[in-house]
Structure 1
Amino acid sequence: MMKIDAHQHFWRYDAAAYPWMSADMQVLKRDWLPDDLRPLLEVQRIDACIAVQARASEAETDFLLMLATQYPWIAGVVGWIDLRAGDIEHRLARWLEAPALAGFRHQIQDEADVAAFVGDARFRRGLRLLQRQQLTYDILVFAHQIEAIVPLCRDMDQHWLVLDHLGKPRVRARDHDEWRRAVTPLAAMPHVLCKVSGLVTEAMDAAGELHSDDLRQYLDTALELFGPSRLMFGSDWPVCLLATSYARTAALIESWSARLARAERDALWCGTAQRAYSIG
């Protein structure tokens, strides 16, 4: 079985470029590059990864696509583009021939008014263009913002949308029932996929203890709502290091998914990501 890490990041650290890295994120404040990740993938027998943007800059897209040309195991790139730009067709055109280009993302979670942002006619025009080009769009929101993106997801059904990090439930606060109600409408949309990623940082308490039992409740619900063919594994490395190691991040999902049938595990660890990001 091939295995894909469908969500991780690379960067050359620059404080001004990554303002979201707060004072308590010192472990992230350095360069994190493919040579740092490759040994971790090999230990876990993971064959390939999807590199996802971590800052709102078209230079980020160029940087990740450049890395993908140097490291063939970077199977896809989820870059950044200003979907509201009046000349978005021109901006997008220069990347369309890049073999690794798989999709785009924006840190919607950081917008002051998520409903207004995703309801903007310019944003929707840009997203429709991506879908016509068969490019996937990753959606990054907090759990309390999910309701605001439901109309967008319902309208944008011409290609895959991917909910990152299960919609960032507040595992520490045990908001399971509230999160379940929020995410259920998305699960009813066949074109919306979901990443089993970014959860260890949400499950770590103030004392630095990782509550993996609490986390499994969210995983079980995601499996129930979306099914294995619409879930994909992602480590969120190196952000996961805020809570635990890459090995433990992968092991948690390995342990949880061991009860699944072989075809279901194949979907979680490879097939869904291949379908979502057109990886051969």
Structure 2
Amino acid sequence: MTPRIDAHQHFWRYRAEDYPWIGAGMDVLGQDKLPADLQPILHDHRIAATIAVQARSGREETRFLLGLAKDTPWIAGVVGWENLAVADLGERLSEWHAGDKLVGFRHQVQDEADARAFLESTDFNRGVALLQAKNYVYDVLVFEHQLADTQVFCARHDKHWLVLDHLGKPALREFAKDDAALKRWKKELLALGKLPHVACKLSGLVTEADWQTGLQQNDYEHIRICLDTALEAFGPQRLMFGSDWPVCLLAASYDKVAAVIADWAESNLGQDEQASLWGGTAVRCYGIAA
């Protein structure tokens, strides 16, 4: 039986200088977030394993997460960080010990001043190609306005799985104003979903809404629209659950995040399809032992 997996969560030992993205009004994140904090929550939700994803740039982040994974059996995989544009990337990758739980890499492309130029960089693309040759997943972190360039990038790298984080971060704050933002994001997501080597994490949506004023019923209605669109784009076999804990706590509890996905899944997916969402897709994409 495939274990239930949270395919996207984070850990850190908090220092403000290491996490400049944790700003004013984010006090819930400005403290250590470690496996002991998450474990009882996972137990309550019958989550047997997680994938810990980088939250800062630097090789020390990868070492930190792998160290936690070594001492924590239920951390099944680590998506770390590496400078993929360096000429000696092959040597750097070989430094990670065989048997480590390193399953992939990620960079905060969303924060690049020119995402298109970054995604078109010869050195970066050479690095991603090497990752795929070595069966590492690349997690794609972009905003919705960067999805068109992301589609071109993803089409270029079809030798292994690419995973879109947070549904490409739809601009949920704008959905209530008019439907232009929804239409724009939906068009790009459907195009990206046509690439069969791209999977999608149902994660991070609560913090794309206006969490500072508290999520309202219409926010959850917009989230369900996003989930419906993701199903249309990727089908039930390329979706995976991710809590985005502890970042989700800015807007909603782990319980609420999981409940939103569970309620939607029960209404839209068969039992086998739900099993894929809650673990099967993560096992298949990241090569995690079931």
Normalized against structure 2, the TM-score is what?
Answer: 0.94
SS at match of 1:258: helix
* Aligned counterpart, 1:42: 43
Say which SS state the counterpart of residue 31 (structure 2) adopts.
Answer: coil
Cα displacement (A) at 1:94: 1.0
Q: Partner of 1:16 in structure 2?
A: 17
The SS at the match of 2:7 is strand
Give the Cα separation in 2 of the matches to 1:196 and 1:209. Answer: 18
After the TM superposition, which residues 47-58 of structure 1 pair with which residues of structure 2 at under 5 Å, given as runs?
47-58=48-59
The sequence identity of aligned pairs, in percent, is 54
Shift of 1:99: 3.2
**Deviation at 1:96?**
5.2
Question: What's the secondary structure of 2:76's corresponding residue?
Answer: strand
**1:209 Cα offset (Å):** 2.1
Aligned pairs for 1:115-126 within 5 A: 115-126=116-127
2:272 to 260, 263, 266: 263
Of 194, 199, 202, the residue aligned with 1:193 is: 199
| Cα distance in 1 between the residues matched to 2:256 and 2:56 | 26
Q: Secondary structure at the match of 1:5?
A: strand
Would you say how many aligned residue pairs link Structure 1 and Structure 2?
280
Q: How does 1:140-179 map to 2 (within 5 A)?
A: 140-174=141-175, 175-179=181-185
1:108 is matched with 109
Q: Paired residue for 1:251?
A: 259
1:276 counterpart residue number: 285
Residue equivalent to 1:219: 227
Over aligned residues, Cα RMSD in angstroms?
1.1
Kept after mapping to 1: 8 A contact 2:8/2:203: yes
Q: Which runs of 5+ in 2 are unaligned?
A: 176-180
Distance of aligned partners of 1:76 and 1:180 in 2 relative to their CA distance in 1, 3 Å threshold: same
Q: Work out whether residues 65 and 98 of structure 1, in 8 Å CA contact, stay in contact via their aligned partners in 2.
A: no
Structure 1: unaligned runs, 5 residues or longer: none
Paired residue type of 2:188: A
Deviation of 1:205 after TM superposition, in Å, equals 4.7
For the structure 1 residues 55 and 98, does the alpha-carbon distance in structure 2 shift closer, same or farther, using more than 3 Å as the test?
farther
What is the distance in 1 between the residues matched to 2:27 and 2:17? 15
**Which amino acid letter does the alignment assign opposite residue 83 of structure 2?**
D
| Distance in structure 2 (CA, Å) of the matches to 1:206 and 1:130 | 38
SS at match of 1:131: helix
Cα-to-partner distance string for 1:208-258 (whole Å, 9 max, x where unaligned): 124211110110111111011000000000000000111111111011101
TM-score by length of 1: 0.98
Residue identity opposite 1:4 in structure 2:
I
Q: Which residue of 1 aligns with 2:140?
A: 139
